[in-house]
Amino acid sequence: MNRQQLIEQIRQKKSYLCVGLDTDITKIPKHLLKESDPVFAFNKVIIDATRDYCVAYKINTAFYEALGLKGWEAMEKTVKYIGKDHFTIADAKRGDIGNTSDQYAKAFFETLPFDSVTVAPYMGEDSVKPFLQYPGKWAIVLGLTSNKGAVDFELKKAGDGLLYEKVLQTASGWGNPGNLMFVVGATQADEFINIRKLTPDHFYLVPGVGAQGGSLKEISEKAMNKDVGILVNASRAIIYASGGEDFAEAAQKVAKEYQEEMASYLIA
């Protein structure tokens, strides 16, 4: 999905919601465990319940890799089931020397049909470039994350500013606003105005709303640009809205609430 297609989906649905499929087999409703592929069975129902209210799905690959071959099969079936009308994110946080990153890019863009993959920029340009060579595909570079450990490196002084600022400024030159996004955590809302000044045209993937306490209102006010420019991810708050047999209805209700709140900010 290219940039214009993504913007059109956002405008059409009046939503910039990304549903995180961080599917933990120990947390899905017990009645699904009798299915031949419980993870995919859960994901399929969640996707059907939420697809009208979101524009993207983010698959955290760790939850699938932990299950071995069955997990990879569930991930492949899930991303194919989502289809091409939603932006798909492999939250894999890859990034290695060039020839290794080249294989990671093939894994997620050729073997698996993801639109994007999250990438760690620590090893520099040659570790990210392979993800930027596919038309219509995106690298989503870690910028300023929502975890407590962000203070260990990202928020340290580096020259005249902070390290994360250096990352944003440098990495934005590796690609363009049509193939490179940044991860910016919702709990870092105070930094969004500065971040938008540094990268005025790029999209941000914003995790940390919901269970992690980020404010959708605050993010929308501070991070949005003329093309909206943000994908706000909610995972646990939606997919685990209920642990019972009504989990689909509960997930749909929460996703709809997010969409309606987002619509109000788009109108404003």
**pLDDT at position 150, please?**
87
Closest CA to 11 of 228, 264, 216: 228
Sequential pLDDT tens for the chain (268 residues): 999 999 999 999 999 999 999 999 999 999 999 999 999 999 999 999 999 999 999 999 999 999 999 999 999 999 999 999 999 999 999 999 989 999 999 999 999 999 999 999 999 999 999 999 999 999 999 999 888 898 899 889 988 889 999 999 999 999 999 999 999 998 777 889 899 999 999 999 999 776 666 789 999 999 999 999 999 999 999 999 999 999 999 999 999 999 999 999 997 5
Report yes or no: 95 and 119 within 8 Å, Cβ to Cβ: yes
Tell me the catalytic residues.
Answer: 93
**pLDDT at position 65, please?**
97
256: buried, middle or exposed (CB in 10 Å: 19+, 13-18, 0-12)? middle
Question: Where exactly are the structural domains of the chain?
Answer: 3-267
CB neighbour list of residue 95: distance below 8 Å, 6 or more residues apart:
101, 104, 119, 120, 121, 122, 123, 127, 128
Class of domain 3-267: alpha beta
**pLDDT at position 213, please?**
66
**pLDDT at position 148, please?**
85
CA distance readout (Å), 139 to 91, 109, 128, 133? 10, 11, 7, 10
